[in-house]
Amino acid sequence: MRWQNGLFFFPDRVLSMWAWAEADEALHEDLSKLCFEGPEDDLKLTRNTQPAILTVSIAALRVLQQETGLVPAMTAGHSLGEYSALVASGALQFTDAVAIVRKRGTFMQEAVPVGVGGMAAVLGMETEVLEQICKESAEGQAVSPANYNCPGQIVISGHMEAVKRAAARAEAAGAKKVVMLPVSAPFHSALMKPAAEKLARALEPVSVQDLKIPVLSNVEADFYPSKNEVKRLLTEQVDHPVRWIEEMEKMVREGVDKCVEIGPGKVLNGLMRKISRETAMQSIENHDSIKEFVASL
């Protein structure tokens, strides 16, 4: 599969379409048609993007497992990707997960009016310095680190005015670069509390099974202790920062020497190279990359 002009394409659709059929049934609409045919503007809506990316990731995972039979030693996912990790572990059924992430996307979009919140990527600044800048820039509003992506790359999130104040202070304090992000909401900030509360209620009837594969959580940067903590950690994830650096460092300490990024894009591949140069990385985003991966085994 590949991402082209905002749409999803699969060189070998036969091996992956069953995931799309399940997603369509779970959502009671034709998500597959939207992903393969558009319109692109509708696909970019958070409520559609989140289930679409989850479906792409699980479709790729199924093809990979069908062709290799491999079982990961552990899994992790960045924000939305944590749902894919939990499906891979057996904790969540795919159909439950895709229905929940549709609601998650809707709740997050509705939590803050468009334009009220914002996010910015801050490059080349020490974590402690940026955290202090956020505290000083709040001035009665909300702004805080949202994604600890890799050394020297932290995304901040909150009220637009507070984010801009923090961005200006970060630049004045020596940040290498600050980039305002074109996002529809201030994800992983305190402003997402209403979305977290709605998600908690939506998760109540969802069945959670024992984790067959260890999964790292964004909130605690540690393994889920049991299935009993899945709903709590997924709820807290919405308005808490993604501690990706700590998660990947935990993986490395646990002996992981090769990571495979599954799904559209290679963002996590690039982040891992900045966290641990000794860890081999490979991306699975189309059938050719699966063939390359199999050949490398």
Answer yes or no: are the C-beta atoms of 248 and 151 closer than 8 Å. no
**Residue 288 pLDDT:** 79
- Positive or negative CA dihedral for 136, 137, 143, 147? negative
Q: What is the DSSP string of 132-164?
A: HHHHHHHTTS-EEEEEEEETTEEEEEEEHHHHH
**Reported pTM:** 0.91
Instruction: Return the SS3 of 243.
Output: coil
**Residue 2 pLDDT:** 36
Instruction: Return the SS3 of 24.
Output: helix
Structure tokens at 97: 């997960």
**Residue 96 pLDDT:** 97
- From first to last of its 297 residues, the chain has per-residue pLDDT tens of 333 333 334 444 444 567 888 988 898 888 888 888 888 888 888 888 899 999 989 988 888 888 888 889 999 999 999 999 999 999 999 999 999 999 999 999 999 998 899 999 999 999 999 999 999 999 999 999 999 999 999 999 999 999 999 999 999 999 999 999 998 899 999 999 999 999 999 999 999 999 999 999 999 999 999 999 999 999 999 999 999 999 999 999 999 999 999 988 899 999 999 999 999 988 887 777 877 877 877
**Residue 14 pLDDT:** 44
Sorted by where each starts, the structural domains of the chain and their CATH numbers stand as 2-111+191-296 (3.40.366.10), 117-183 (3.30.70.250)
Q: How far apart are CA 65 and CA 262, in angstroms?
A: 12
Q: Give catalytic residue positions.
A: 79, 188
The residues, any chain, with a CB within 8 Å of residue 240's CB and separated by 6 or more, are 188, 218, 219
**Residue 16 pLDDT:** 57
Phi, psi values for residue 84, rounded to 5°: -60, -40
Burial of 66 (0-12, 13-18, 19+ CB in 10 A): exposed
- Residue 179 pairs in a beta bridge with 121
Q: Centre a 10 Å sphere on the Cβ of residue 291 and count the other Cβ atoms it contains.
A: 11
**241: part of which helix (H) or strand (E)?**
none
